[in-house]
């Protein structure tokens, strides 16, 4: 009997080990040691946070103007580069077409656009106004007054009763602009001394045409074709690279760093009443008139000088 009781006591614990209990696993926290489950969860959280912030650490040109989009799946989404709104292109005013008529008169339609009057030295060219149209000398403006001369010719009697503009270019005249505000309309025209002369010019007029010819736009003080017919003589470490004039201004451009020498500019022709007739812009001296002859004088002990003359080429 005793022997059976002992066998039963040994078997009962063994049968308990072979069954699967319905109890949840118990996390045992040992003081001083990290929990494996907590360490794994922290690692997963760091990976998710890295993937979610990866989008913001990618370089993209669109970031400067449009924030990147985020999705719940933390996918990398690059915003498209924004398209700039299209601006209408401004075209230059149309050029009027010259027509040659009887007696060698060159005709322009006043409302056709900007006329270009060719007048080469030593010719004198006449631009006729309309019958009965008058003007004041103060209403006549020409940009390059050093190379072009323009005068109002008062009308007389008979066939000479029409007022006119007399143009007389110098030998070095190239291109400039002329504006006249008459008693009826505003003339704006380009004068060119590079082609055969139009010795007699007149305009036709149509009902309903504009009373103002197109504005000749000056962009940052420049317009038309630059005139590079300058000759420079002399030597200096700061000697200008080039000189040119355009739209009634003269530009003297220095090499890199040459403007620091700040040589003194003396305008010989035409004479100017201004004590400081030029200004420094970037690497250039800009003179507010067309210069025919000027001299640059350095501040060095040996006083380097550069003579600049218009109308001469090397």
pLDDT in tens, 92-107: 568 899 999 999 999 9
Give the H/E segment covering residue 63: none
Q: How far apart are CA 128 and CA 154, in angstroms?
A: 11
pLDDT for res 204? 96
**CA 38 to chain CA mean position, Å:** 63
Q: How far are the Cα atoms of 86, 92, 94, 128 from residue 89, in angstroms, in the given order?
A: 9, 10, 14, 35
- Determine the pLDDT at residue 9: 54
> Residue 234's pLDDT is what?
93
Which pLDDT score, from 0 to 100, does residue 75 have? Answer: 39
Place of tokens 């270009």: 116
Spans of the chain below 70 pLDDT: 1-36, 50-93, 158-160, 217-225, 272-276, 312-314
Q: Which fold has domain 98-204?
A: Immunoglobulin-like (2.60.40)
- The total of other beta-carbon atoms located within 10 Å of residue 57's CB is 7
CA distances, 75 to each of 23, 50, 60, 64 (Å): 40, 12, 15, 20
Least Cα distance to 145 among 171, 119, 173 occurs for 173
Domain residue limits, the chain: 98-204, 230-310
How far is C-alpha 284 from the geometric centre of its chain's CA atoms?
Answer: 17
Percentage of the chain with pLDDT > 70?
67
pLDDT value at residue 27: 57
Nearest in space to 145 (alpha carbons), one of 267, 257, 292, 15: 292
Q: Is 311 left (phi over 0), alpha (psi -120 to 50) or beta?
A: left
Q: What is the tens place of the pLDDT at every residue in 158-217? A: 666 899 999 999 988 888 899 999 999 999 999 998 889 999 999 999 999 999 999 886
The pLDDT value given to residue 63: 39
Residue 21 pLDDT: 53
Q: What is the pLDDT of residue 88?
A: 42
Q: Looking at residue 80, what is its pLDDT?
A: 47
- The whole-number pLDDT of residue 57 equals 52
Instruction: Tell me the pLDDT of the chain averaged across its residues.
Output: 77
Contact, 37 vs 27, CB < 8 A? yes
Q: In what order do the strands lie in the sheet with 284-287?
A: 242-246, 249-253, 284-287, 278-281
CA atoms within 13 Å, Cβ hemisphere of 289: 18
Same fold, 98-204 and 230-310: yes
This prediction has a pTM of 0.46
Q: 225-228: which pairs have CB atoms within 8 A and are 24 or more residues apart?
A: 225/174, 225/175, 227/174, 227/175, 227/310
Q: What pLDDT does 33 receive?
A: 55
Looking at the domain that runs over 230-310, which CATH code has it been given? 2.60.40.2500
């Amino acid at each position: 009997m005793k022997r059976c009781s002992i066998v039963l006591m040994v078997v009962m614990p063994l049968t308990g080990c072979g069954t699967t209990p319905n109890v949840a696993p118990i996390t045992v926290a040992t003081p001083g040691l990290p929990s494996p489950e907590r360490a794994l969860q922290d690692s997963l959280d760091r990976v998710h946070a890295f993937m979610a912030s990866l989008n913001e650490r990618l370089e993209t040109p669109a970031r400067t103007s449009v924030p990147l989009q985020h999705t719940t799946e933390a996918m990398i989404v690059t915003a498209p580069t924004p398209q700039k709104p299209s601006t209408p292109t401004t075209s230059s005013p149309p050029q009027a077409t010259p027509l040659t008529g009887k007696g060698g008169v060159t005709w322009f339609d006043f409302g056709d656009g900007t006329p270009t009057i060719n007048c080469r030295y030593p010719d004198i060219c006449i631009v006729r106004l309309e019958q009965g149209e008058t003007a004041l000398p103060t209403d006549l403006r020409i940009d390059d007054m050093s190379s072009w001369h323009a005068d109002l010719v008062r009308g007389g009697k008979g066939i000479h009763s029409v007022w006119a503009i007399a143009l007389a270019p110098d030998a070095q005249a190239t291109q400039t602009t002329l504006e006249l505000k008459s008693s009826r309309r505003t003339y704006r025209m380009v004068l060119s001394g590079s082609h055969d002369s139009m010795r007699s010019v007149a305009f036709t007029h149509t009902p309903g045409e504009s009373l103002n010819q197109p504005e000749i736009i000056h962009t940052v003080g420049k317009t038309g074709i630059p005139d590079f017919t300058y000759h420079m003589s002399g030597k200096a470490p700061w000697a200008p690279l080039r000189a040119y004039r355009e739209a009634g201004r003269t530009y003297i451009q220095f090499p890199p760093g040459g403007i620091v020498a700040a040589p003194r500019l003396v305008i010989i022709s035409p004479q100017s009443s201004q004590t400081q007739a030029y200004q420094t812009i970037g690497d250039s001296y800009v003179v507010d008139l067309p210069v025919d002859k000027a001299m640059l004088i350095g501040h060095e002990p040996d006083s380097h000088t550069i003579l600049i003359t218009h109308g001469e080429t090397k």
